[in-house]
Amino acid sequence: MTHKPILVLKFGTASITHSNGDLNEDVIQTICKQVAHLHATYNMVIVSSGAVAAGKKLLKNFTGELTERKAAAAIGNPLLLNRYAQYFAPLGIHIAQSLCERHHFSNRNQFLQLKRTYQELWRNNIVPIANENDVVSNLELKFSDNDELATLIAVGFGAHLLLLCTSVPGVMDDDGNVIPELKIINANTLLLAKKEKSAVGLGGMTSKLTFARLATQMGIKTVIFGLETDNDILQAIEGKIGTLCQPQPCNISARNKWLASGSLISGKLQIDKGAANAISNRHSLLAVGVVKVLQHFEAGEVFEILDDNNQPLAVAKSRINSKQIESSKKLQNLEIARTDDIVMI
């Protein structure tokens, strides 16, 4: 039934593979058993990395070049899905493959079609397993990693809970202890992330915290955790392990959640304090408040708004192009973006 809350589960490559890249079938079987336990309660999406790691061993002299990674993904995707299907079958659960590209989220019509497809799968009690379509994804329009894909699904579909599984037990403090709760994720929080990432994956804790920040700003409870026992997913949902990132109050529309997360940012501009106060108080953005156009954009495109300290403040859909803004800054009432097309971040 579609009225069940939505749970998005993301597993990184290091979580489900051995160090040599082989799929860790014990871990996949454990995941399937726990998902089966939750299946009656949630509409679920699994976002699973591991295709490149699973496929690269069948390529001669693999060095990690882009074309080789695409070929490895083409080989590894069916291997990965086969393992999930194998371990879900005895539990009475069927799966569907969902290979996504960035434009499926940036184009609102395609995004809504994707959402309706998932809802049809859930109506039939089928669990979609999502991954980026690495074989054909354009380099400039790729997801940064599957943390981003999982977050866009969670935000776009209105998920209740986002679980980001990683190779460590959670967000660690300077002494190596897991931080059990983050009430808010800000610039200081991001400094907790270590720069290293696993040898087999693309992400890392910086990625986890960056997208956990977006998810929590959109009102989604997020947990960053590791897989060490047979019931870690269940314990993470109960808040017994990992790092719980608390959701922030959020009452914006589904369309504006998509605007803040799924849309592609085409441009960038900086505004003064007066304009920042105005949009924070639900007023339109006017050309007179623009300090500088940092990256050009066209009318109808989404752009990022920076404050006078060069910090991200909002995203908005523009009514005019950036050339018009530069030539018309002194016009008091020239509207760049309407209130309903501005989302504070």
**Same domain, yes or no: 205 and 309:** no
In a domain, 90, yes or no: yes
Is residue 259 assigned to a domain?
no
For the cut 50, the answer to whether the pLDDT of residue 82 exceeds it is: yes
Q: How far apart are CA 219 and CA 240, in angstroms?
A: 21
Instruction: Report whether pLDDT(22) > 50.
Output: yes
Tell me if 165 is assigned to some domain.
yes
- Residue listed under structure tokens 């403090």: 173
Q: How far apart are CA 167 and CA 157, in angstroms?
A: 26
Determine, yes or no, domain membership for 147.
Answer: yes
pLDDT at position 148 = 87
Looking at residue 284, its pLDDT comes to 93
Domain end call among 230, 254, 278: 254
Beta bridge partners of 162: 8, 222
Secondary structure tally for the chain: helices H, strands E = 13, 15
The domain of 113 spans 6-254
Q: Are residues 187 and 98 in the same domain?
A: yes
Residues 73 and 150 in one domain: yes
Q: Specify if 144 maps to a domain.
A: yes
Same domain? For 168 and 312 the reply is: no
* Residue 269 and residue 249 share a domain: no
CATH number assigned to the domain comprising residue 51: 3.40.1160.10
Distances (CA, A) of 109 to 99, 131, 142, 174: 17, 20, 19, 45
Question: Is the confidence at residue 308, as pLDDT, over 70?
Answer: yes
Residue 195 has pLDDT above 50, yes or no: no
Whether 202 has a pLDDT exceeding 50, the answer reads: no
Is the confidence at residue 209, as pLDDT, over 80? yes
Q: Which residues pair with 98 in a beta bridge?
A: 130
Q: Is pLDDT above 70 for 261? A: yes
Per-residue pLDDT at 1 exceeds 70:
no
Tokens 């639900």, residue located: 282
Q: Which of 19-23, 163-167, 200-204, 244-248 has the lowest mean pLDDT?
A: 200-204
d(CA 226, CA 16): 11
Distance from C-alpha of 345 to C-alpha of 329, rounded to nearest angstrom: 24
Between CA 151 and CA 344 the distance in angstroms is 18
Separation of CA 107 from chain center: 16
pLDDT higher than threshold 50 for residue 203 = no
Q: Tell me, yes or no, whether 177 and 312 share the same domain.
A: no
Q: What pLDDT score does 199 carry?
A: 42
Do 68 and 169 share a structural domain?
A: yes
Confidence of residue 201 (pLDDT cuts 50, 70, 90): very low
What's the mean pLDDT in 18-47? Answer: 93
Q: What is the DSSP letter of 58?
A: G
Q: Are residues 182 and 157 in the same domain?
A: yes
Mean pLDDT, rounded, for 210-224: 91
Q: Is 133 helix (H, G, I), strand (E, B) or coil?
A: coil
Residue 29 to residues 13, 33, 36, 341: CA-CA distances in angstroms?
A: 15, 6, 11, 45
Looking at the predicted structure, is the pLDDT value of residue 194 above 70? no
Q: Which residue has the higher pLDDT, 86 or 324?
A: 86
Domain final position from 254, 287, 315: 254
The pLDDT of 2-21, averaged and rounded, is: 88
* Pair 279, 243 in one domain: no
pLDDT of residue 144: 62
Neighbours of 181 (CB within 10 A): 12
pLDDT in the model for residue 234: 94
Give me the pLDDT at residue 88, please: 97
- Can you tell me the mean pLDDT for 301-329? 87
Domain boundary among 254, 284, 309: 254
DSSP 163-228: EEEESSSS-B-TTS-B--EES---HHHHTTS-S---SS-S--HHHHHHHHHHHHHTT-EEEEEE--
Q: Does residue 281 carry a pLDDT above 80?
A: yes
Burial of 124 (0-12, 13-18, 19+ CB in 10 A): exposed
CA distances from 300 to 158, 266, 292, 339 (A): 25, 10, 19, 14
Whether 54 maps to a domain, the answer reads yes
pLDDT tens across 89-110, in order?
999 999 999 998 877 887 888 8
Domain harbouring 274, CATH code: 2.30.130.10
Average pLDDT in the 12-17 region? 88
In this prediction, residue 197 has a pLDDT band, given cuts at 50, 70 and 90, of very low
* pTM for the full predicted model: 0.81
Crossing angle of the two packed helices 108-123 and 254-261, in degrees rounded to 10:
110
Q: Are 302 and 263 in contact (CB under 8 A)?
A: yes
pLDDT tens by residue, 109-155: 888 999 999 999 999 999 999 998 877 766 554 566 788 899 999 99
Any domain includes 126: yes
DSSP class of residue 39 equals T
Q: Which pLDDT value is given to residue 223?
A: 97
Tell whether 234 and 336 lie within a shared domain: no
Residue pointed to by tokens 């192009």: 321
**Span 208-232, mean pLDDT?**
90
Give the residue-averaged pLDDT of 188-193. 78
Residue 1 within any structural domain of the chain: no
Instruction: pLDDT band for 174, please (50, 70, 90 cuts).
Output: confident
- How high is the mean pLDDT of the chain? 87
Same-domain pairing of 104 and 205: yes
Domain count, the chain: 2
As a whole-number percent, the residues of the chain with pLDDT over 90 amount to: 46
Q: Do 154 and 186 fall into the same domain?
A: yes
